[in-house]
Structure 1
């Protein structure tokens, strides 16, 4: 683009202000400004056209119906059990492909409403109060997965096919509890560890041996004593009721003595009748 310059002679700065008012200077400046504006507008139009072509090209590549498209839809498996399973799989142990199935089975078939544990005016405490605790601790979670897997296997036509898996889960559950004692006892005896030992005892009462059950119950009685007794357990009394409920029903099934014979769910009230149906099929 050809640019024309106009030379003006001034001796004083104020003379330049006067010349700027003259028609020749003003018209030259105006012509130059309009040419710059027109040139810039054309460049912007070209850029817009190129950008439009680029966008259309990208859309064509991402269009599933395009012949040149190589993208395929990502299959997403339906979530097991509606909203019962954590979609982010934020479990306290390393993620395994069988965990969602067992979590769903536990919440649907085992963590059911149990009147002796919920007490009047409440329901679903195993799901709303107990299971959140389960999700915080590797040992407790491992024991619950062992219980869920054993219960799930008992409902299958060929449960023997899961025997090796159950042995592995049992080993991991016991190992996790033992690892919990590697720290000083003052820092170790929390609700999760007590719950893990209690549930491991219930597993032995249902699927294992009486000798192993007694080993876990002796340990449970010891750590609860170190903790300060049943009254010191958390979850607003739910953990205490779980321990007594396991003790009461296991003693009934095996014809043995209770470890917490003087305890009750509520002060001043006797223990309700055993509920082996719920004990074997739930909790």
Structure 2
């Protein structure tokens, strides 16, 4: 049976208009969904956290952030790599013994999106303390390297810190510290130094540098090319006739 052309055209229009409307709605919904996905993927919810254990008396510990384990069996001198957490204006940090789970200390601190933080464990004063430090999260300026120092050496006391091109008596004779008298239990700001091959030298404050002094710490050479950011932890030596113990961690680069 033949369908008149005009009726066929009318039927075609009747079917096409609702279909166009449906397709338009689907297209709009898809666009909104895509826009929503782009918004979510473009918004970072990551905050970086690590542990710096400077405790002399704490046993091996576990550290959790907002109920999530950051690291386990951590001991003095350990500086862990960064873990990823959701940003929080007041994140809970708990320190417990690895062996029994006994609570040792806790605190709360701000975890900022796209930023790095360090959980510092100390016990210079009575009991264990835990604090959250804000780390530098961007590279040092071109041609410079940034260093921060944490002095947790109460027996050694205040220290002077140098970066030198060598460790000879001639270099020592004219050396000038970049940090003078950093007290025990103190944390320096980040200090920028011109990048090159340098030795880090740490001595009790006011010490005259000599190549024979046993209480002067000298690092291996730092081959600094620029952009590096480092945190240096200073602890008392295990033997009183030895230099301080030093641990260096990469913050950036």
TM-score tier by shorter-chain length is under 0.3
Higher percent of residues as strand = 2
Give the structure with higher Rg (CA): 1
| TM-score normalised by structure 2 residue count | 0.27
Q: Which has the higher helix share?
A: 1
With normalisation by structure 1, the TM-score equals: 0.24
